[in-house]
């Protein structure tokens, strides 16, 4: 029986479409980021918050977050990705009905058991239209593949009212150290670089206090809110890793998009 597969919508636009070129690009971004954000304690992040623009704009910032997931201490069996739906209305949460999401690096299988468990919650629906053209999740897949290999994934499109439901789904799937969470969001939008730096600094400080950002300050605010609720429940520690905007990478300074990278660590246990 053939599998239903979501084909990449943005390969060759937001990131390289050639397998070898993409693999080299991601590895270079991760290697550069690893030298900047290495954790002296050797901890591996349980969850990250990272941006979702084209690689030339937000790739270095996203890599800062993924670098904290590289020192794997145990096999990862599920990566849940959650981000906003830019083009299709989603009230709470939408999961895909397909069997896999393809990438130039290879296909990532949808974690069917995790999907079925998520669908037990009111407000979670199957909606492939929410995922068909959505960049907020697709641009993370090459990083996920490079860091974890062909790990099962659960992509979740989060609507404005979905933060509380996402928190419930995360709690149901939390389990042990075999799950990782990727929350996708950009920060300020279409303002000048000096103002963006001020606004994004405030948003970053809020996130580090485990306080959800305002919707107008982050396009993935609902997904971030759901993650921070889980972080409070599990006493995770948030660390700001990188905070830049498109003027710092590849864009013009008069209208920028802000990008932040955060890692969420489980607390260190005393020996």
DSSP 32-71: HHHHHH--TT----SEEEE--S-HHHHHHHHHHHHGGG-S
Domain boundaries, the chain: 44-265
For the domain covering 44-265, report its CATH number.
3.40.830.10
Residue 212, pLDDT score: 95
Cα separation, 212 vs 182, whole angstroms: 16
E strands, the chain, in order = 5-6, 47-50, 78-84, 93-95, 100-101, 108-109, 124-126, 153-158, 179-184, 189-191, 237-245, 256-265
Cα separation, 132 vs 149, whole angstroms: 23
Residue 75, pLDDT score: 86
Residue 25, pLDDT score: 98
Which residue carries 């246990």 as its tokens?
A: 269
| Tens digits of residue pLDDT in 12-43 | 999 999 999 999 999 999 999 998 876 655 78
pLDDT at 218 over 50: yes
Residue 207's nearest CA partner among 142, 260, 267 is: 260
Provide the mean pLDDT of the chain.
94
Cα separation, 81 vs 264, whole angstroms: 14
Residue 39, pLDDT score: 62
Q: Identify the residue with better confidence: 68 or 269.
A: 68
Q: Identify the residue with better confidence: 3 or 61.
A: 61
Cα 49 to Cα 98, 102, 207, 211: the distances in Å are 25, 22, 10, 14
Cα separation, 96 vs 131, whole angstroms: 7
| Tens digits of residue pLDDT in 106-130 | 999 999 999 999 999 999 999 999 9
| Tens digits of residue pLDDT in 75-87 | 899 999 999 999 9
Residue 263, pLDDT score: 97
Cα separation, 187 vs 179, whole angstroms: 26
Residue 267, pLDDT score: 86
Q: List % helix, strand, coil for the chain (3-state, nearest 5).
A: 40, 20, 40
Tokens at 118, concatenated: 């998520």
Residue 63's nearest CA partner among 100, 38, 83 is: 38
Average pLDDT over residues 229-253: 95
271: confidence class by pLDDT, cuts 50, 70, 90: very low
Residue 43, pLDDT score: 82
């Amino acid at each position: 029986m053939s599998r239903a597969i979501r084909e990449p919508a943005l390969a060759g636009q937001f990131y390289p479409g050639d397998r070898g070129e993409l693999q080299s690009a991601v590895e270079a971004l991760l290697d550069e980021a690893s030298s900047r954000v290495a954790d002296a304690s050797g901890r591996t992040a349980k969850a990250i918050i990272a941006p979702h623009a084209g690689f030339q704009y937000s790739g270095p910032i996203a890599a800062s977050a993924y670098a904290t997931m590289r020192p794997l201490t145990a096999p990862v069996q599920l990566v849940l990705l959650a981000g906003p739906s830019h083009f299709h209305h989603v009230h709470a949460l939408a999961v895909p009905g397909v069997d896999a999401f393809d990438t130039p690096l290879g296909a990532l299988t949808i974690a069917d058991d995790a999907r079925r468990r998520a669908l037990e919650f009111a407000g979670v629906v199957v909606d492939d239209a929410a995922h068909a053209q959505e960049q907020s999740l697709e641009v993370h897949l090459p990083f996920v593949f490079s860091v974890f290999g062909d790990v099962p994934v659960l992509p979740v499109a989060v609507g404005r009212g979905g933060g509380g439901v996402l928190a419930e789904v995360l709690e149901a799937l939390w389990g042990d150290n075999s799950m990782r969470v990727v929350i996708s969001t950009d920060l300020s939008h279409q303002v000048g670089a000096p103002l963006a730096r001020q606004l994004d600094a405030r948003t970053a400080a809020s996130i580090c206090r485990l306080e959800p950002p305002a919707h107008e300050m982050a396009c993935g605010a609902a997904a971030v809110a759901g993650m921070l609720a889980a972080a409070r429940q599990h006493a995770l520690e948030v660390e700001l890793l990188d905070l830049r905007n498109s003027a710092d990478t590849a864009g013009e300074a008069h209208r920028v998009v802000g990008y932040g990278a955060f890692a969420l660590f489980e607390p260190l246990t005393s020996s």
